[in-house]
Amino acid sequence: MNKELFEAKRVPPAEYEKEPFEFEQVDKIIQEKPYVKEALEEVRNIDEGVTLRHSMETAEMVASLADELHFSREEKKSLIIVALTHDVGKAFIERDVLIYKGEYDDKKRAEMVRHIRLSKNYLVEKGAPPEIWEIVVRHHEHKGEPRNSENERRNNENVSEVIPENENDAEEARAEERRNGERRQEKPYYERLARIFSIADIFQATGDSARPYNNHNEALAIRDLELRRLSPLSPAEQKAIMFLRKNEELKRRELKK
């Protein structure tokens, strides 16, 4: 088992659900999908383990959600892979921006947002299927940075793109984009999985172990603002949020004992 890769994760143990996350399941995914382990290795030390912990904790959270919402085994597996790889692009942005603790100016914000497209590019290059990077590229939509927006285009101007060498390559690129569009139409669960992943990411990113908020109430206020950006919420999504809030309250009670 690759537990040594995840040593930074479980701190402190009392903050986690009583039913432990299945490390063996992650290990099996890593064996089947080498790009997942490579992605985790990329983020292992970039910010003192914060991104690695976030990736693992989000995988744990989204797996619990998938069970609660009776997702299929394949859907649950896809969501775990997305969680483990969604922030790999942070390994390729400016380190000073990554570890910066204050308020972002426009330049720093643009640099940080680049990690979304960089994560997608990394996964495409490694051969990850569209059902993975389609969700990864959308994982910040709840933060007011929707895909294909002018804001995203401007923030990603400096991302290296593959330039076709000839017209045949250009036509193949256009054909691939058409195929991707057809996949999105054929598999509407992209939207459902992307939104459920966003919920897990919102809850984990505003947890005590992720970002240095001034206090817990500030973290909750930011989280509720981001959740409102997902509105209107479906009954299943409302159920998921209630499930996460219940677990959060249970964990906080455990910490007070």
210-253 per-position pLDDT tens digit = 444 456 777 788 888 888 888 788 888 898 999 998 888 887 77
Structural domain contains residue 251: yes
Q: What is the pLDDT of residues 173-203, one digit of tens each?
A: 666 666 655 555 555 667 888 889 999 998 8
The parent domain of residue 180 ranges over 11-256
Let me know if residue 4 belongs to a domain: no
> What pTM did the predictor assign?
0.73
pLDDT digits (tens, 9 = 90+) for 131-153: 899 899 887 766 544 443 333 44
Query: Residue 90: pLDDT band by 50, 70, 90 thresholds?
Result: very high
Whether 6 is in a domain gets the answer: no
Confidence band of 40 (pLDDT split at 50, 70, 90): very high
Q: What's the domain count of the chain?
A: 1
In a domain, 2, yes or no: no
**Which CATH number belongs to the domain containing residue 159 in this structure?**
1.10.3210.10
Is there a domain that residue 229 lies in?
yes
Domain membership of residue 140 (yes or no) is yes
Q: What is the 3-state secondary structure (H, E, C) of the chain?
A: CCHHHHCCCCCCHHHCCCCCCCHHHHHHHHHHCHHHHHHHHHHCCCCCCHHHHHHHHHHHHHHHHHHHCCCCHHHHHHHHHHHHHCCHHHHHCCHHHHCCCCCCCHHHHHHHHHHHHHHHHHHHHCCCCHHHHHHHCCCCHHHCCCCCCHHHHHHCCCCCCCCCCCHHHHHHHHHHHHHHHHHHHHCCHHHHHHHHHHHHHHHHHCCCCCCCCCCHHHHHHHHHHHHHCCCCCCHHHHHHHHHHHHHHHHHHHHHHC
Examine residue 94 and state whether it is found in any structural domain, yes or no. Answer: yes
Is pLDDT of 158 > 80?
A: no
3 in any annotated domain: no
How much of the chain, in percent, has pLDDT values that exceed 90? 27
